Amino acid sequence: MSTKLLDSVAARWSRLGAMLNVPAAARTPDIERLLLDTARVASANVRLFILAASWLAQYGDYVAKHRLARLIGEELEPQYRPTLGLMLEWAKHRGDANRARFNLAIDACGSAIDHRPLLDVERRNPVLVSLAEKRASLISRKWGRWVADFEVKNDGLRPASWIAEHNPALVERALTGGDLLASVLAECAADANAINSEAELARRCGASRPAIRSAVRRLELAGRVHWLPKGRGHAIHLKQHAIAET
Protein backbone atom coordinates (compact mmCIF):
# COMPACT_ATOMS: atom_id res chain seq x y z
CA MET A 1 0.00 0.00 0.00
CA SER A 2 1.39 3.37 -1.01
CA THR A 3 1.28 5.83 1.90
CA LYS A 4 1.59 8.66 -0.61
CA LEU A 5 -1.51 7.49 -2.48
CA LEU A 6 -3.46 7.02 0.76
CA ASP A 7 -2.56 10.55 1.88
CA SER A 8 -3.53 11.94 -1.53
CA VAL A 9 -6.90 10.19 -1.46
CA ALA A 10 -7.63 11.50 2.04
CA ALA A 11 -6.71 15.07 1.03
CA ARG A 12 -8.98 14.91 -2.01
CA TRP A 13 -11.92 13.64 0.04
CA SER A 14 -11.28 16.40 2.55
CA ARG A 15 -11.65 18.92 -0.28
CA LEU A 16 -15.01 17.33 -1.09
CA GLY A 17 -16.26 17.67 2.46
CA ALA A 18 -15.27 14.44 4.22
CA MET A 19 -14.14 15.28 7.75
CA LEU A 20 -10.72 13.70 7.81
CA ASN A 21 -7.85 15.00 9.89
CA VAL A 22 -5.72 15.98 6.90
CA PRO A 23 -5.20 19.22 4.94
CA ALA A 24 -7.56 19.49 1.99
CA ALA A 25 -6.28 19.25 -1.58
CA ALA A 26 -5.63 22.58 -3.25
CA ARG A 27 -8.12 22.00 -6.06
CA THR A 28 -11.35 20.13 -6.68
CA PRO A 29 -10.39 16.55 -7.53
CA ASP A 30 -11.36 14.45 -10.50
CA ILE A 31 -14.17 12.63 -8.68
CA GLU A 32 -14.26 9.56 -10.90
CA ARG A 33 -10.53 8.90 -10.64
CA LEU A 34 -10.72 9.60 -6.91
CA LEU A 35 -13.24 6.78 -6.62
CA LEU A 36 -10.85 4.44 -8.41
CA ASP A 37 -8.01 5.44 -6.09
CA THR A 38 -10.30 5.03 -3.07
CA ALA A 39 -10.97 1.43 -4.08
CA ARG A 40 -7.20 0.89 -4.26
CA VAL A 41 -6.52 2.15 -0.71
CA ALA A 42 -9.77 1.35 1.13
CA SER A 43 -8.37 -1.82 2.70
CA ALA A 44 -5.91 0.31 4.70
CA ASN A 45 -8.39 2.74 6.27
CA VAL A 46 -11.93 1.78 7.23
CA ARG A 47 -12.93 5.37 8.15
CA LEU A 48 -11.94 6.55 4.70
CA PHE A 49 -13.99 3.77 3.12
CA ILE A 50 -17.06 4.55 5.25
CA LEU A 51 -16.90 8.30 4.66
CA ALA A 52 -16.41 7.84 0.91
CA ALA A 53 -19.41 5.50 0.76
CA SER A 54 -21.45 7.94 2.87
CA TRP A 55 -20.47 10.79 0.56
CA LEU A 56 -21.69 8.77 -2.41
CA ALA A 57 -25.01 8.14 -0.69
CA GLN A 58 -25.48 11.84 0.07
CA TYR A 59 -23.81 13.53 -2.88
CA GLY A 60 -23.75 10.91 -5.61
CA ASP A 61 -25.33 13.29 -8.12
CA TYR A 62 -21.93 14.95 -8.41
CA VAL A 63 -20.56 11.76 -10.00
CA ALA A 64 -20.47 11.58 -13.80
CA LYS A 65 -21.87 8.08 -14.05
CA HIS A 66 -21.07 7.33 -17.72
CA ARG A 67 -17.47 8.42 -17.27
CA LEU A 68 -17.09 6.42 -14.06
CA ALA A 69 -18.27 3.25 -15.80
CA ARG A 70 -15.74 3.75 -18.60
CA LEU A 71 -12.84 4.39 -16.22
CA ILE A 72 -13.65 1.29 -14.20
CA GLY A 73 -13.49 -0.83 -17.34
CA GLU A 74 -10.35 0.80 -18.73
CA GLU A 75 -8.27 1.79 -15.70
CA LEU A 76 -9.27 -0.01 -12.49
CA GLU A 77 -7.40 -3.21 -11.81
CA PRO A 78 -9.72 -6.25 -11.44
CA GLN A 79 -8.72 -6.90 -7.82
CA TYR A 80 -10.10 -3.51 -6.75
CA ARG A 81 -13.37 -3.60 -8.65
CA PRO A 82 -15.25 -5.58 -5.96
CA THR A 83 -14.38 -2.91 -3.38
CA LEU A 84 -15.73 -0.14 -5.59
CA GLY A 85 -18.76 -2.23 -6.48
CA LEU A 86 -19.48 -2.65 -2.75
CA MET A 87 -19.17 1.10 -2.15
CA LEU A 88 -21.43 2.00 -5.04
CA GLU A 89 -24.12 -0.58 -4.34
CA TRP A 90 -24.19 0.28 -0.63
CA ALA A 91 -24.55 3.98 -1.51
CA LYS A 92 -27.22 3.19 -4.08
CA HIS A 93 -29.45 1.64 -1.42
CA ARG A 94 -28.71 4.26 1.26
CA GLY A 95 -29.12 7.41 -0.80
CA ASP A 96 -32.34 9.38 -1.06
CA ALA A 97 -31.95 10.28 -4.73
CA ASN A 98 -32.21 8.22 -7.92
CA ARG A 99 -31.26 4.67 -6.99
CA ALA A 100 -30.43 3.79 -10.59
CA ARG A 101 -27.69 6.42 -10.84
CA PHE A 102 -24.80 4.00 -10.18
CA ASN A 103 -26.09 1.02 -12.16
CA LEU A 104 -23.72 1.50 -15.11
CA ALA A 105 -20.70 1.67 -12.83
CA ILE A 106 -21.87 -1.23 -10.66
CA ASP A 107 -22.22 -3.38 -13.77
CA ALA A 108 -18.71 -2.35 -14.84
CA CYS A 109 -17.35 -3.61 -11.51
CA GLY A 110 -18.44 -7.14 -12.38
CA SER A 111 -18.78 -9.50 -9.41
CA ALA A 112 -16.79 -11.04 -6.58
CA ILE A 113 -13.53 -12.66 -7.64
CA ASP A 114 -12.69 -14.09 -4.20
CA HIS A 115 -13.92 -13.74 -0.61
CA ARG A 116 -11.95 -12.13 2.23
CA PRO A 117 -12.07 -9.32 4.78
CA LEU A 118 -12.06 -5.84 3.31
CA LEU A 119 -9.38 -4.63 5.72
CA ASP A 120 -5.71 -5.59 5.48
CA VAL A 121 -5.35 -5.77 9.27
CA GLU A 122 -8.04 -8.47 9.46
CA ARG A 123 -6.61 -10.54 6.63
CA ARG A 124 -3.35 -11.13 8.52
CA ASN A 125 -4.93 -12.99 11.44
CA PRO A 126 -7.00 -16.18 11.09
CA VAL A 127 -9.11 -15.27 14.14
CA LEU A 128 -9.92 -11.84 12.69
CA VAL A 129 -10.69 -13.41 9.32
CA SER A 130 -13.27 -15.63 10.99
CA LEU A 131 -14.79 -12.72 12.93
CA ALA A 132 -14.95 -10.56 9.81
CA GLU A 133 -16.82 -13.29 7.95
CA LYS A 134 -19.33 -13.70 10.79
CA ARG A 135 -19.99 -9.95 11.02
CA ALA A 136 -20.06 -9.29 7.29
CA SER A 137 -23.13 -7.61 5.83
CA LEU A 138 -25.06 -9.35 3.08
CA ILE A 139 -23.93 -6.85 0.46
CA SER A 140 -20.27 -7.23 1.46
CA ARG A 141 -20.63 -11.00 1.18
CA LYS A 142 -22.02 -10.55 -2.30
CA TRP A 143 -18.93 -8.58 -3.35
CA GLY A 144 -16.45 -10.81 -1.49
CA ARG A 145 -15.10 -7.97 0.67
CA TRP A 146 -16.35 -8.65 4.18
CA VAL A 147 -17.22 -5.69 6.37
CA ALA A 148 -19.91 -5.15 8.99
CA ASP A 149 -22.90 -3.05 8.03
CA PHE A 150 -22.79 0.65 8.86
CA GLU A 151 -25.00 3.70 8.60
CA VAL A 152 -24.46 6.85 6.55
CA LYS A 153 -22.08 9.05 8.54
CA ASN A 154 -23.82 12.40 8.12
CA ASP A 155 -21.85 13.86 11.02
CA GLY A 156 -18.64 13.09 9.15
CA LEU A 157 -19.62 15.08 6.04
CA ARG A 158 -19.88 18.80 5.47
CA PRO A 159 -23.20 20.17 4.18
CA ALA A 160 -23.99 20.64 0.51
CA SER A 161 -23.61 24.42 0.83
CA TRP A 162 -20.00 24.00 1.98
CA ILE A 163 -19.16 21.59 -0.83
CA ALA A 164 -20.63 23.93 -3.47
CA GLU A 165 -18.82 26.95 -2.03
CA HIS A 166 -15.44 25.24 -1.96
CA ASN A 167 -15.90 23.37 -5.24
CA PRO A 168 -17.67 25.69 -7.70
CA ALA A 169 -16.52 23.53 -10.62
CA LEU A 170 -19.07 20.94 -9.46
CA VAL A 171 -22.09 23.21 -9.91
CA GLU A 172 -22.84 21.95 -13.43
CA ARG A 173 -22.62 18.37 -12.24
CA ALA A 174 -25.22 19.03 -9.57
CA LEU A 175 -27.54 20.63 -12.09
CA THR A 176 -27.24 17.68 -14.50
CA GLY A 177 -27.65 15.04 -11.80
CA GLY A 178 -24.63 13.10 -13.03
CA ASP A 179 -26.19 12.28 -16.40
CA LEU A 180 -24.57 12.28 -19.84
CA LEU A 181 -24.09 16.06 -19.76
CA ALA A 182 -22.01 15.68 -16.61
CA SER A 183 -19.80 13.10 -18.32
CA VAL A 184 -19.29 15.37 -21.33
CA LEU A 185 -18.19 18.19 -19.03
CA ALA A 186 -15.97 15.88 -16.99
CA GLU A 187 -14.28 14.33 -20.03
CA CYS A 188 -13.51 17.74 -21.50
CA ALA A 189 -12.19 19.06 -18.19
CA ALA A 190 -9.96 16.00 -17.73
CA ASP A 191 -8.40 16.36 -21.19
CA ALA A 192 -7.10 19.94 -21.32
CA ASN A 193 -10.67 21.25 -21.67
CA ALA A 194 -11.22 19.76 -25.11
CA ILE A 195 -12.08 16.49 -26.87
CA ASN A 196 -10.87 16.11 -30.43
CA SER A 197 -14.03 14.69 -31.98
CA GLU A 198 -17.63 13.74 -31.42
CA ALA A 199 -16.73 10.08 -32.04
CA GLU A 200 -14.03 10.16 -29.35
CA LEU A 201 -16.40 11.77 -26.88
CA ALA A 202 -19.04 9.13 -27.63
CA ARG A 203 -16.49 6.37 -27.00
CA ARG A 204 -15.40 7.86 -23.71
CA CYS A 205 -18.93 8.36 -22.45
CA GLY A 206 -20.21 5.01 -23.67
CA ALA A 207 -23.03 6.72 -25.53
CA SER A 208 -24.25 6.90 -29.12
CA ARG A 209 -23.15 9.76 -31.34
CA PRO A 210 -26.72 11.12 -31.62
CA ALA A 211 -26.95 11.16 -27.82
CA ILE A 212 -23.60 12.94 -27.57
CA ARG A 213 -24.61 15.42 -30.25
CA SER A 214 -27.79 16.21 -28.32
CA ALA A 215 -25.90 16.59 -25.03
CA VAL A 216 -23.26 18.86 -26.55
CA ARG A 217 -25.96 20.94 -28.20
CA ARG A 218 -27.67 21.48 -24.84
CA LEU A 219 -24.37 22.46 -23.25
CA GLU A 220 -23.67 24.79 -26.16
CA LEU A 221 -27.02 26.53 -25.65
CA ALA A 222 -26.11 26.94 -21.99
CA GLY A 223 -22.79 28.53 -22.94
CA ARG A 224 -20.74 25.71 -21.44
CA VAL A 225 -19.05 24.29 -24.53
CA HIS A 226 -18.44 25.26 -28.12
CA TRP A 227 -17.43 23.50 -31.34
CA LEU A 228 -14.22 24.29 -33.18
CA PRO A 229 -13.39 22.96 -36.68
CA LYS A 230 -10.71 20.27 -36.65
CA GLY A 231 -9.87 18.39 -39.83
CA ARG A 232 -13.10 17.11 -41.33
CA GLY A 233 -14.96 17.32 -38.05
CA HIS A 234 -15.18 19.41 -34.93
CA ALA A 235 -13.51 19.39 -31.52
CA ILE A 236 -15.58 20.06 -28.41
CA HIS A 237 -14.11 22.72 -26.11
CA LEU A 238 -15.12 23.50 -22.55
CA LYS A 239 -15.43 27.23 -21.97
CA GLN A 240 -13.13 28.53 -19.27
CA HIS A 241 -15.78 30.03 -17.01
CA ALA A 242 -17.38 26.60 -16.70
CA ILE A 243 -14.36 25.26 -14.79
CA ALA A 244 -13.60 28.24 -12.55
CA GLU A 245 -12.12 27.47 -9.14
CA THR A 246 -11.76 29.42 -5.94
- Give pLDDT tens digits for 22-73: 999 999 999 999 999 999 999 999 999 999 999 999 999 999 999 999 999 9
Rounded to an integer, what distance in angstroms lies between the CA atom of residue 34 and that of residue 186? 13
Taking 90 as the threshold, does the pLDDT of residue 88 lie above it?
yes
Please give the residue range of the domain that contains residue 57.
3-113
Taking 60 as the threshold, does the pLDDT of residue 245 lie above it?
no
- Give pLDDT tens digits for 98-118: 667 899 999 999 999 999 999
Rounded to an integer, what distance in angstroms lies between the CA atom of residue 238 and that of residue 224? 6
Last residue in a domain, options 113, 129, 144: 113
Domain count, the chain: 2
Rounded to an integer, what distance in angstroms lies between the CA atom of residue 187 and that of residue 195? 8
CATH number of the domain within which 198 lies:
1.10.10.10
Last residue in a domain, options 96, 113, 130: 113
State the pTM of this model.
0.88
Rounded to an integer, what distance in angstroms lies between the CA atom of residue 182 and that of residue 56? 16
Rounded to an integer, what distance in angstroms lies between the CA atom of residue 181 and that of residue 205? 10
